[in-house]
Amino acid sequence: MTPPRFRPKTSSPGSSGFRAIADEVGAKVMFDAAHQCGFIAGRAWKNPLAEGAHFMTMSTYKSLGGPAGGLIVTNDAESAEKLDAIAYPGMTANFDAGKTAALAISLADWISHGEAYAQEMIATAKAFAETLSEAGLPVFAGDSGFTASHQFAVEAARFGGGQTAARKLERGGFLACGIGLPVSAVAGDNNGLRIGTPELVRFGVDRNNVREIASLCARVLMSNAPETLAGETAALRARYQTLHYVNV
């Protein structure tokens, strides 16, 4: 067998098939689950640790809905010992007890409600995207459709770019952001607009009532005076005040 040319300390792949390659050169497989963490915790997506990853990094907010921060998790004892040695006292001297307590409560909510929350985020994102598409907006689609997660994107060239579209939405009471897409570039701006559903679903929006919100979002994007619709957005938002998928 030809000796390997490279021996990386860590690899960050998108497929469990890389485990064999990593084992051959003595590397560890890391999976970045920054956005996917909620779907892994909610069993909507496969667990990378069970698919061959040695450890997994993730955000504790985004689709997980906890306080801002991150986690490195592993089911490999050797990796855990090395990570512990690096993290403390090598890189950190203390921790935020309040944030740790908030994360513990969030994770307890996930044990009870995570599967339902994850599935509803996906279904709500699909319904939102479908409604925008039906309104004539260029929703970006891949081989599996508009989305299989909590977020989707709109091709933003017709709005002057993704960040330009996001600022227009903000004038109408919606928060979104620009993002890069594998489509033609927009000079001086992102070519996509990203919309997500975690916060919506957490406050009671679902795959059925999101269509009203999406229709208003489409009107804001296509309006020449989006600020005139901000009152409608505020009134619609006022109907969703109760936090869902939590332990009472």
| Tens digit of each residue's pLDDT (9 = 90 or more) over 221-242 | 999 999 999 999 999 999 999 9
Confidence of residue 105 (pLDDT cuts 50, 70, 90): very high
Give ∠ CA 242-244-248 in degrees, rounded to 5: 90
Q: What pLDDT score was predicted for residue 14?
A: 56
Q: Cβ–Cβ contacts within 10 Å for residue 9, how many?
A: 8
Give the highest mean pLDDT range of 50-64, 93-107, 154-168: 154-168
pLDDT given at position 20: 86
pLDDT at 90: 78
Question: So what's the architecture of 10-95 in CATH?
Answer: 3-Layer(aba) Sandwich (3.40)
User: Average pLDDT in the 153-179 region?
Assistant: 98
The DSSP code for 239 is: T
Rounded to whole angstroms, the Cα distance separating 64 from 3 reads 42
Give residue 97's pLDDT band: very low, low, confident or very high (50, 70, 90): very high
Is the confidence at residue 89, as pLDDT, over 70? yes
Q: What confidence tier does 88 reach under pLDDT thresholds 50, 70, 90?
A: confident
Which sequence spans correspond to the domains of the chain?
10-95, 113-237
Q: What is the pLDDT of residue 227?
A: 98
The pTM for the full model equals 0.88
CATH of domain 113-237: 3.90.1150.10
Q: Give the SS3 label for residue 195.
A: strand
* CB burial of residue 20 (10 Å; 0-12, 13-18, 19+): exposed
